[in-house]
């Protein structure tokens, strides 16, 4: 059975299902769900794009680092991280000490489709003429970083199927 001291950390590229799967997993485990991007937005009173615009990426990455340290001291959490948060070795080390880390992965085509359907969350990184090519480029850049974590394929699967897979890993 799951060690109740351990958190579950979901990382991976945007559109791979971290938030959707994370909420379902937290419900099933009776854990608190935390979306790091949403928590930073609440703490700052600004959206991620507004934070980038007003303070820059460096300031945002520091906010992520501070949050990683804070969350690492807590228990009973399912944490959905921003797409680059766990690529920072210090963040990964902090959160890994107190949790199991899974990297959700999907095909570039499925990521693009999911992001196009999600009109509530603008994605500044994809505000380019060829978003699919940008996704492919960013995935290639992040392959090594994401590769440090156990990969869970989400393409072609329903969220409850992915939760069942994760439960099998941690159960």
Which domains can be identified in the chain, with CATH numbers? 7-170 (3.40.50.300)
Instruction: Return the pLDDT at 1.
Output: 43
Closest CA to 66 of 105, 39, 46: 39
What pLDDT band is residue 115 in, cutting at 50, 70 and 90? confident
* Residue 144: exposure state from Cβ atoms within 10 A (0-12, 13-18, ≥19): exposed
pTM of this structure = 0.92
> Distance (Å, rounded) from C-alpha 168 to C-alpha 55?
41
Write out pLDDT tens, residues 48-88: 889 999 999 999 999 999 999 999 999 999 999 988 999 99
DSSP code, position 31: P
Length of the chain: 171
> Distance (Å, rounded) from C-alpha 127 to C-alpha 28?
35
């Amino acid at each position: 059975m799951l060690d109740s001291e351990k958190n579950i950390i979901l990382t991976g590229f945007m559109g791979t299902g971290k938030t959707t799967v994370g909420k379902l997993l937290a419900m099933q485990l009776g854990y608190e769900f935390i979306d790091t991007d949403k928590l930073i937005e609440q703490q700052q009173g600004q959206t991620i794009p507004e934070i980038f615009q007003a303070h820059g990426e460096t300031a945002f990455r520091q906010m992520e680092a501070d949050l990683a340290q804070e969350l690492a001291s807590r228990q009973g959490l399912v944490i959905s991280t921003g797409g680059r948060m766990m690529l920072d070795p210090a963040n990964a080390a902090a959160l890994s000490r107190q949790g199991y880390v899974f990297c959700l992965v999907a095909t570039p085509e499925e990521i693009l489709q999911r992001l196009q359907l999600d009109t509530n969350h603008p994605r500044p990184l994809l505000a380019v003429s060829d978003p699919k090519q940008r996704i492919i480029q960013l995935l290639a850049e992040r392959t090594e970083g994401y590769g440090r974590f156990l990969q869970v394929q989400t393409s072609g699967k329903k969220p409850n199927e992915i939760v069942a897979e994760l439960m099998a890993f941690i159960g």
